[in-house]
Amino acid sequence: MIPSARINASLELLTAIDTVARPADAIVSGYFRARRYIGSKDREAVSRTTYDVLRHYARLSWWMDKIGVENTPRARLIAYLKLVDKKNVKEISELFDGKKFSPETLNEEDRALLKKLEGHTLIHPNMSDAVVVECPDWAEKGLQQYFGKEFANEMQALLQPAPLDLRVNTLKTTRERAIFSLKQNGIEATECRLSPHGIRVLDRPALNRITMLRDGSIEIQDEGSQLVSLLVNAEPGQRVVDFCAGAGGKTLAISAEMKNKGRIIACDVLANRLKRSKERFIRAGLHNIETKPLSTEHDPWVKHHKGEFDRVLVDAPCSGTGTWRRNPDARWRSLGPGLEALLPLQTSILDSAARLVKPGGRLVYATCSMLPEENEKQIEQFLAFHTDFKLIPVSEAGKAFLGKDYTGQYLRLTPAKHETDGFFAAVLERVKA
Predicted pLDDT at 113: 96
Measured between alpha carbons, how far is 315 from 242 in angstroms, rounded to an integer? 8
Per-residue model confidence as pLDDT tens digits over 34-64: 998 999 899 999 999 999 999 999 999 999 9
Per-residue model confidence as pLDDT tens digits over 301-351: 999 999 999 999 999 999 999 999 999 999 998 888 899 999 999 999 999
Nearest partner of 401 among 190, 226, 253, judged by Cα: 226
In the CATH scheme, what architecture does the domain 223-430 have?
A: 3-Layer(aba) Sandwich (3.40)
End-to-end CA distance of the chain: give it in Å, rounded.
68
Rounded to the nearest 5 degrees, what angle is found at the Cα of 292, between the Cα atoms of 378 and 241? 45
Q: Which residues of the chain have pLDDT under 70?
A: none
- Mean pLDDT for the chain? 94
Pick among 3.40.630.10, 3.30.70.1170, 3.90.76.10, 3.40.50.10440: CATH of 164-220:
3.30.70.1170
Distances (CA, A) of 266 to 195, 273, 345, 360, 372: 23, 11, 19, 21, 27
Measured between alpha carbons, how far is 51 from 340 in angstroms, rounded to an integer? 28
**What's the pTM?**
0.93
Which one of the listed residues 135, 244, 318, 368 is annotated catalytic? 368
Domain residue ranges of the chain, discontinuous segments joined by +: 3-127, 164-220, 223-430
Q: How many CB atoms lie within 10 A of CB 150?
A: 13
Predicted pLDDT at 207: 79
Judge contact between 14 and 50, C-beta under 8 A. Answer: yes
Judge contact between 17 and 24, C-beta under 8 A. Answer: yes
Active site residue 368: yes
Q: Do domains 3-127 and 223-430 have the same CATH topology?
A: no
Predicted pLDDT at 203: 83
Judge contact between 93 and 106, C-beta under 8 A. Answer: yes
CATH 1.10.940 fits 3-127, yes or no: yes
* Residue 273 neighbours by CB under 8 Å, 6+ apart: 245, 246, 247, 248
Distances (CA, A) of 296 to 153, 269, 292, 348, 349: 39, 6, 12, 10, 9
* Residue 48 neighbours by CB under 8 Å, 6+ apart: none
Q: Is 358 exposed, middle or buried (0-12, 13-18, 19+ CB in 10 A)?
A: middle
Q: How many CB atoms lie within 10 A of CB 188?
A: 12
Predicted pLDDT at 152: 93
3-class secondary structure per residue, the chain: CCHHHHHHHHHHHHHHHHHCCCCHHHHHHHHHHCCCCCCHHHHHHHHHHHHHHHHCHHHHHHHHHHHCCCCCHHHHHHHHHHHCCCCCHHHHHHHCCCCCCCCCCCCHHHHHHHHHHCCCCCCCCCCCHHHHCCCCHHHHHHHHHHHHHHHHHHHHHCCCCCCEEEEECCCCCCHHHHHHHHHHCCCCEEECCCCCCEEEECCCCCHHHCHHHHCCCEEECCHHHHHHHHHCCCCCCCEEEECCCCCCHHHHHHHHHCCCCCEEEEEECCHHHHHHHHHHHHHCCCCCEEEEECCCCCCHHHHHCCCCEEEEEEECCCCCHHHCCCCHHHHCCCCCCCHHHHHHHHHHHHHHHHCCEEEEEEEEEEECCCCHHHCHHHHHHHHHHCCCEEEECHHHHCHHHHCCCCCCCCEEECHHHHCCCCEEEEEEEECCC
Predicted pLDDT at 318: 96
